[in-house]
Amino acid sequence: MTFDISKIARRNILGLEPYRCARDDFKVGLLLDANENTHGPSAALSAREESLELNRYPDPHQIELKQKICDFRNSEAATKGAIVPVPLVEGVEKKLTPENLCLGVGSDESIDALLRCFCQPGKERLLVCPPTYGMYGICAQVNDVELVKIPLKLDDFQIDKEMILSSVLNDPSIKLIYLTSPGNPTAAQIDLTLFVQLLEELEQNTWHGLVIADEAYVDFSPIGSSLAPFVNKFPRLVVLQTLSKSFGLAGIRLGITYSTPEVSLLLNSMKYPYNISNLTSDVALRATTPEALAKMRETCSTIVEQRGILLKNLLELKGIGKNRGGLDANFLLIEVLNKEGNPDNEVANNVYNYLATKRNVVVRFRGKELGCTGCLRVTVGTEKENETLVEEFREALKRYN
């Protein structure tokens, strides 16, 4: 079926005229057009901060940064041995370009923007697959968009493709499908073949909507796992990423949305003109140099190695059950057992509270999530942090088991 953005986006968004700001026209010269304070900041700044001209509005388009991000994902997709080798052939799967990107203040801004762009409040719906990231539901409630829930298969935390297809093809009010891959809190990547099959079958039908792959943790999966390069092949696909996790830059709040140029144009038209600060873009540009990207990959490899060691050591503890989730992210989802050997929310919550309040070791209780009874979500730390975690777990489990 031909992709028609006019049948997916809200009419008021289709007719949106983007705000034209001062930096759309001129970026250099005697700039007296934006009512900026030309005397400079009142705060004491470092030499680096001074060079960023923080008294000036930032670049609203960030083309240089977008190009560097595209170059990185294009190169990884074409890497020999990538888990999903993508033939970047003109007319088949075009390379990502800045026209495919919209940058936001973390992925949360993108999650909200997609709802505002494509779902009519009080009329249209969002499909999610629990257990999943909680912000989808919060953003849906804020935007008066009803949730449709199709649970993951709880034996392996994979999507139920047939149930998703049946739901969206029988309910035209469903406009968006949010899928986390790797999942949170599941740490399991959605099987890429299954994901592509879902997209292909939706392409062949009359559904007018978008499938969003939230890939916040994708760099802890094998290289080439990202679906981002597929957005030009599947126009109904949108991919969310962030610099918060693998890049270790949660504090700069930079999210990336990859989509077909038609979708990207609407998202860029909606966003606030100066949403990416000079400070954020400066750090992000330095984080996407070849040297910094190599360092990021090295760090991810270390975390993956430590993940295996941490899991082995945790599973040896009395009172720990199995690894409930996958091995595709920088965290584990482990079961805490009661004296009878069953996953137990009360025991897990007691261990969680004891660790946080008495031992200053903070993990996350996830036992109330679907299919996660008795589970704690544990981030993989440094080697030293992981050793401390295991010892503190050992002592905590003795108290409640």
52 and 63 part of one domain: no
Rounded to whole angstroms, the Cα distance separating 345 from 326 reads 20
pLDDT, residue 30, reads 83
pLDDT per residue as tens digits for the range 275-300:
999 999 999 999 999 999 999 999 99
The CATH number of residue 327's host domain is: 3.90.1150.10
264 and 345 part of one domain: no
278 and 381 part of one domain: no
Packed helices 106-118 and 135-142: angle between N→C axes, nearest 10 degrees: 40
pTM above 0.85, yes or no: yes
C-alpha dist (Å) from residue 8 to 58, 231, 242:
31, 16, 25
CA angle in degrees (0–180, nearest 5) for 168-137-375: 105
pLDDT, residue 220, reads 97
**Domain that includes residue 46, residue range:** 29-56
Rounded to whole angstroms, the Cα distance separating 206 from 140 reads 24
148 and 237 part of one domain: yes
301 and 359 part of one domain: yes
**Structural tokens at position 17:** 């005229």
CA angle in degrees (0–180, nearest 5) for 98-110-282: 55
DSSP β-ladder status, 146-149 and 125-128: parallel
**Residue 298, C-beta contacts closer than 8 angstroms, at least 6 positions apart:** none
311 and 180 part of one domain: no
pLDDT per residue as tens digits for the range 305-342:
999 999 999 999 999 999 999 999 999 999 999 999 99
C-alpha dist (Å) from residue 348 to 201, 366, 381, 400:
41, 9, 20, 9
183 and 310 part of one domain: no
Rounded to whole angstroms, the Cα distance separating 241 from 226 reads 9
Positions of the chain with pLDDT under 50: 85-92
C-alpha dist (Å) from residue 229 to 92, 210, 265, 328:
11, 16, 18, 19
Query: Is there a contact between 119 and 176 (Cβ–Cβ < 8 Å)?
Result: yes
Total number of domains in the chain: 3
pLDDT, residue 81, reads 53
pLDDT per residue as tens digits for the range 64-110:
999 999 999 998 876 655 555 444 433 445 789 999 999 999 999 99
Residue count of the chain: 401
